[in-house]
Amino acid sequence: MEYTNQTGALAILNGRGNTTSDETTLTGAAPPAARSVTPPQKRLSRPLGAIDIPHRKVTKICCIGAGYVGGPTCAVIALKNTHIIVTIVDVNPTRIAAWNSDSLPIYEPGLDAVVKECRGRNLFFSTDVDKGILEADLIFVSVNTPTKTQGVGAGYAADLGYVEAATRRVAEVATGDKIVVEKSTVPCRTAQSMRVILEANSRPGIHFDILSNPEFLAEGTAISDLMCPDRVLIGSLDTPAGRSAAASLADVYAGWVPRNQIITMNLWSSELSKLAANAMLAQRISSINALSAICEATGADIDEVSYACGLDSRIGPKFLKASVGFGGSCFQKDILNLVYLSESLHLPEVAAYWKQVVEFNEHQKKRFLHRIITCLFNTLTAKKITLLGFAFKADTGDTRESPAITLAKYLRAERAHITIYDPQVTEDQIWLDLSEPGVVDDIESLKKQVTICNNKYEACEGADAVVVCTEWKEFKMQKDPADTRGMDWTRVYEKMKKPAFVFDGRLILDVHRMEEIGFQLESIGRPGKGFRRSKDWE
């Protein structure tokens, strides 16, 4: 069969999605990664972080795409490889201007220091995409791969238009051999499409090696994730040229990553591993969130259940924090991508399995809204509801797929007055997120219902309810009156309408301390006050 992506490029799969002759099977398993608990079953037959294969030394890198991945990743590469010139290029001049200024386009702890140290030394940001391509030995393609919004596969398939445009540019501009690295998260077998495009459009005699090198950094911890990755994954063809290109890239990472954490495998395994890792992480969150519903109905406490389960070394403690739902630009997009891939491969049961992870996430947000409505006497009309936090997680200004956006939209439909405070998200971004072309065009009517505040205490004044949407440290209860980083919830209580409701979508507030102040605290995964009274809880 042919699996058509929306750019028209074809990733050709045989009948059951098996590989064809030039693709080898996985030749082994990874060495123990930093977080792994189960030893690998097999060893890789390919050398790890290969150094014993003849290969070129990379001296100039170009990264196409100066976003959340391209920027931090290549800044760290420059920091750790002072002998390599790294140029990050982008078609967006505003973004490049910001990278070249004192106010970087993304908020990421530790990023400023890295950029300051390398910028102008061996790290450069430019809109001159062609020059970057022309001069580089190795090119990262780190452009966006959003979910398609129309046409075949709309709502599921990845829009590979940006990857294709960048690949075509490389083909047209390159005058010498290049290693082209897929850094973007892409459907399995995209490297094949890239190869066809490169070979069909390049000058005669030029050779391209294509590698898959998915990125696993999480926003908010990008710099520490890059500095100490669990693993660096490099996928290549199992040919002398492919292995040699992989060795060249491995050398770059070996500038700071131990060789035994740089793992190599076949291209398609590498591409799929990225989607698989995100799907499995998101699945854990949906699983714990599904259990949170049972907790709320039975009197169990989801944090205690997570703790008990996480102590089992086969399960582990990470990614078991119940919440109002996962957000971010990756989880939903990548799972839907996997769903589309499964359907394209005629695997409907597999598609349905993964789709449920996303569907439950939507349900979790609705459940939270229903709890707010029920507690607030079944009507939100004209009530002031304050959202604390708008970013999809703490320590980032990114709002992509933030649960706060969905909640704000639901609250608007209930005709509530919404006040929003977030320490990092800009006002413009919030208006952009809340206005939907074709649905909410009238920004003036939106502004009658929504207020954006730049002070967290003012945001809560006169509120009927405060909803914690993002787990920023500054929303946690202050340790003592001198603690200016936490929140003085007594001060908040005094200025709120009574009964004063707080809905904790991130499990950052202690029920006993909040009740001592006088709040009615309703947390995800914990029974509410109503339940506790009716079941003789205390």
Interface with ligand UPG, residue 216, by CB under 6 A: yes
Partner that binds at residue 323, options ligand NAD, ligand UPG, none, CB closer than 5 to 8 Å by kind: ligand UPG
* Bridge partners of residue 233, in order along the sequence: 263
Minimal distance, residue 403 CB to ligand UPG, in Å: 7
Minimal distance, residue 157 CB to ligand NAD, in Å: 13
* Bridge partners of residue 89, in order along the sequence: 64, 126
> Which parts of this chain interact with ligand NAD (CB under 6 A)?
64-70, 89-92, 95, 129, 142-145, 162, 165-166, 184-185, 215, 217, 219, 329-330
Minimal distance, residue 330 CB to ligand NAD, in Å: 5
Interface with ligand UPG, residue 215, by CB under 6 A: yes
Three-state secondary structure call for residue 138: strand
Partner that binds at residue 31, options ligand NAD, ligand UPG, none, CB closer than 5 to 8 Å by kind: none
Q: Is 531 among the annotated ligand-binding positions? A: no
Minimal distance, residue 163 CB to ligand NAD, in Å: 8
Q: Which of 185, 344, 386, 520 binds ligand UPG (CB under 6 A)?
A: 185
Q: Which of 217, 336, 411, 450 binds ligand UPG (CB under 6 A)?
A: 217
Binding mask 377-396 toward ligand UPG (x if CB under 6 A, else -) reads ---------------xx---
Residue 215 and residue 183 in contact, taking contact as beta carbons nearer than 8 Å: yes
Q: Is 311 among the annotated ligand-binding positions? A: no
Cα separation, 357 vs 380, whole angstroms: 29
Q: Is the peptide bond before 499 cis (omega within 30 degrees of 0)?
A: yes
Partner that binds at residue 162, options ligand NAD, ligand UPG, none, CB closer than 5 to 8 Å by kind: ligand NAD
Interface with ligand UPG, residue 319, by CB under 6 A: yes
Interface with ligand UPG, residue 321, by CB under 6 A: yes
Taking the CA atoms of 433, 438, 439 and 441 in sequence, report the sign of the dihedral they define. positive
444: Cα separation from own chain's centroid:
32
Minimal distance, residue 325 CB to ligand UPG, in Å: 7
Minimal distance, residue 158 CB to ligand NAD, in Å: 8
Burial 191-205 (b: 16+ CB within 10 A, else e): bbbbbebbeeebeee
Subset of 322-361 contacting ligand UPG (CB under 6 A): 323, 326-328, 330-331
- Catalytically annotated residue among 63, 74, 188, 330: 330
DSSP per-residue string spanning 76-90: HHHHH-TTSEEEEE-
Cα separation, 230 vs 257, whole angstroms: 9
Cα separation, 497 vs 506, whole angstroms: 22
* Cβ closest to ligand NAD, residue 9 vs residue 514: 9
Active site residue 460: no
> Residues 6 or more apart from 258 whose CB is under 8 A from it?
none
Question: Which DSSP helix (H) or strand (E) runs through 61?
Answer: strand 60-64
* Cβ closest to ligand NAD, residue 393 vs residue 526: 393
Sheet holding 384-388, edge to edge: 450-452, 417-421, 384-388, 465-468, 501-504, 520-523
* Cβ closest to ligand UPG, residue 384 vs residue 393: 393
Question: Contact region for ligand UPG (CB under 6 A) — 169-177, 320-328, 355-363, 529-537?
Answer: 320-328
Query: Taking the C-alpha atoms of 381, 383, 386 and 391 in order, what is their torsion angle to the nearest 10 degrees?
Result: 10
In this structure, the number of other CB atoms found within 10 A of the CB of residue 500 comes to: 22
Subset of 507-536 contacting ligand UPG (CB under 6 A): none
Partner that binds at residue 193, options ligand UPG, ligand NAD, none, CB closer than 5 to 8 Å by kind: none
Cα separation, 315 vs 268, whole angstroms: 27
Q: Is 479 among the annotated ligand-binding positions? A: no
Task: Give the per-residue SS3 of 459-520.
Answer: HHCCCCEEEECCCCHHHCECCCCCCCCCECHHHHHHCCCCCCEEEECCCCCCHHHHHHHCCE
How many residues bind to ligand UPG according to rule CB under 6 A? 20
* Bridge partners of residue 88, in order along the sequence: 63, 125
Q: Which residues are annotated as a binding site for NAD(+)?
A: 65-70, 90, 95, 143-147, 184-185, 219, 330-333, 400
Binding residues: 65-70, 90, 95, 143-147, 184-185, 215-219, 274-278, 314, 321-327, 330-333, 392-393, 400, 506
Interaction site with ligand UPG (CB under 6 A): 185, 215-219, 278, 281, 285, 319-321, 323, 326-328, 330-331, 392-393
Annotated binding site for substrate: 215-219, 274-278, 314, 321-327, 392-393, 506
